[in-house]
Structure 1
C-alpha cells in the first residue's frame, strides 16, 4: 500500500476550479494504484465566520491563536461544513470518501502546546495541541477498503478535550504514522517564488534558510516549508507544494532535503 497525503488549505475548498483540479488528481492517483487521503484546514472560512460572530482573529507567523470561541468556530467549520463539502465533492465523482477529524477513532492524542518564543516574545497559542501519538488503525482500515479518508485538523487531549492543530503539522505527523510515499501540500500560489517572483521547481533546505533570511520566504510560507522539510527528514520520499491548477499544468515546487 502506498498512501499519498493531499493537504488542502481552507481557501481552496471555496474554489470550484481548484477543487475540480484536486478531485482530478485524486482520481488519477487511485487509477494508478495509489491510496490517497486528504488532510484539511479551514483558515479562510474560520476567519470569515469569526468576523461575522465578532470573534477576534489573532495569528503569529501564520499560526492561529485559539481561544474558546475560536475553537467552537473550528468545530463548526473544520469538523463540519468544510469536511462535508469535500466529502460531497468526492462523492459527486463516485469516490467513496469518509469524513473524520483527528478526534475520531483514537486517531490522535495530544497535549496543549506550551508558550513559545517568536521574535523574542513569548506567545501562548491557546487551545492548540502538540500531537504526541497517532494511531493509524482507522485510517489503514479505510484505505485498505478503498475509502478516501478526509481528515479535519482537530485533535484530542485528555486534560483539555478537543484542541486545534495546524494542518501542515498534522499532515507531517500522519505521513510518518502511515508510511506515506508522497505528500502534496496545496496552497493558493502555483509554487514557491524566488526573490524575483519566479517559480522554483526545486527548493533545497539551504535555499529555504537563505530565503527566510533575505525575506523572500516569509509569513505563512515559513511554517508550510518547515513542515515539508520535516516530512522529508521523517522519511517521506517525495514532498511537493503548489496550487492544484499549477500541478495539472506541470508547475510546483519539490522540496529537496539535506544531503
Structure 2
C-alpha cells in the first residue's frame, strides 16, 4: 500500500495556525439563511465548517433564518406569503406558523446535525431569557406606500447574558430570531437584523452572513462583479446606485448596524461555495465580500496587494 504524501495537509495546518492563534477565544456570529437548510447535504456542509471553528476555540453563535421553509408551510396551509422590500409581512396566522417553523423545525434540525459533528449546541430563541427585547413595528412608508408589516418586531435591546453564559460553558448557541414584546406577543424579526444586534452586543470579532448570493455584487445579475472588500461609504454608494435589491437591502442595513455596534468585520458569502466559511476565516482572499468601517483599517494582505 502506497503511503500518501502528508505535505499538503501539513502546509494547510501551517497556513491556518496564525489565524487560529488570532481568533482563539474570540466571538464569531454566523447567520445562515434558510436556504442552506433546504437539504441535508448543504446543512451538513455548513455545520461541518462551523464545527471546525468551534473545535479550534472560536466562540461561535449560530443564528438561522428559515424563509423557504416558512413559505412552503404557509402555502400548504393556504396562507399567501407577502414580502415587501425584502422583509416578510407577518399576520396573526403567520406568526404562529413562523414560531412553529423557526423555533421547532429548523432549530431542531440544526441541533441534530450538530450532534453528528460533536458540537455541544443549545437551541434558543429571542424569547429565551429576554434575549431579544422588541416592540411591534408601526406602519412604515416604503417607496411612497404605507406598509403594515403586522407582527414584525423592531429590536429595543439585546440582553446577551444567556449567550455569554452558554459560551463561557463551552456551548454553542443556535438562535432562532423569533422574539416577543413585553406583553408576550410573539414577533418575527429578520434574522440578519438579529444576528447584527447580537454581534454588537457581544462585540464579536466577525459577523458572517451565509446567503445564496456569492457576496455583494456591483451588477445585480453578474456573479463576476462580486466586490472583494468595501467599507460603509462603499456600501452606501452601492445602495444609492441601485446595486442592492430585495433581500440584500435588510442585509446592508444589518451590516451597517453591526459595524457601528462594534463588530470589527462583516463577511457576506455563499453557502453554495465549497468551504466558504473556512476560506473567509483562514485566508486573506476568501470567497465573498468583506465589509469594514473604513478600508484604511485593512492590511495590505487583506487588500490583496
More RCO (CA 8 Å, sep 6+) = 1
Tell me what 1:187 maps to.
211
Deviation at 1:60, TM superposition (A): 0.8
Tell me what 2:115 maps to.
91
Do 2:139 and 2:148's aligned partners in 1 also have CA atoms closer than 8 Å? yes
Do 1:112 and 1:160's aligned partners in 2 also have CA atoms closer than 8 Å? no
Following the alignment from structure 1 to structure 2, what is the Cα–Cα distance between the partners of residues 207 and 34? 29
Following the alignment from structure 2 to structure 1, what is the Cα–Cα distance between the partners of residues 155 and 215? 28
Post-superposition Cα deviations, 1:197-231, rounded to whole Å, max 9, x if no partner, equal 42221133333333333333211111112211221
Post-superposition Cα deviations, 1:27-70, rounded to whole Å, max 9, x if no partner, equal 22123321001111110011111110011211111101110110
For the residue of structure 2 that corresponds to 1:222, the secondary structure is helix
For the residue of structure 2 that corresponds to 1:240, the secondary structure is strand
Do 2:85 and 2:247's aligned partners in 1 also have CA atoms closer than 8 Å? yes
Post-superposition Cα deviations, 1:78-135, rounded to whole Å, max 9, x if no partner, equal 0100000000011111111111111112212211111111101121111111121221
Structure 1 vs Structure 2 CA RMSD = 1.7
Tell me what 1:81 maps to.
105
Flag structure 2 segments of 5+ consecutive residues without an equivalent.
Answer: 1-24, 280-285, 296-305
For the residue of structure 2 that corresponds to 1:142, the secondary structure is helix
Do 2:54 and 2:119's aligned partners in 1 also have CA atoms closer than 8 Å? no
Flag structure 1 segments of 5+ consecutive residues without an equivalent.
Answer: none
Deviation at 1:160, TM superposition (A): 5.4
Tell me what 2:54 maps to.
30
**Is 1:217 aligned to 2:244, yes or no?**
yes
**Is 1:204 aligned to 2:231, yes or no?**
yes
**Is 1:58 aligned to 2:82, yes or no?**
yes
For the residue of structure 2 that corresponds to 1:132, the secondary structure is strand
Deviation at 1:141, TM superposition (A): 1.2
For the residue of structure 1 that corresponds to 2:98, the secondary structure is helix
Following the alignment from structure 1 to structure 2, what is the Cα–Cα distance between the partners of residues 107 and 235? 18
Higher-Rg structure is 2
Tell me what 2:140 maps to.
116
For the residue of structure 1 that corresponds to 2:173, the secondary structure is strand
Correspondence for 2:271 among 241, 244, 251: 244
Do 1:102 and 1:155's aligned partners in 2 also have CA atoms closer than 8 Å? yes
Superposition TM-score, scaled by structure 1 size = 0.94
Following the alignment from structure 2 to structure 1, what is the Cα–Cα distance between the partners of residues 257 and 130? 24
Tell me what 1:170 maps to.
194
**Is 1:105 aligned to 2:115, yes or no?**
no
Superposition TM-score, scaled by structure 2 size = 0.80
| More strand by percentage | 1
Which has the higher mean CA deviation after the structures are superposed, 15-24 or 71-80?
A: 15-24
Aligned residues: 259
Tell me what 2:291 maps to.
255
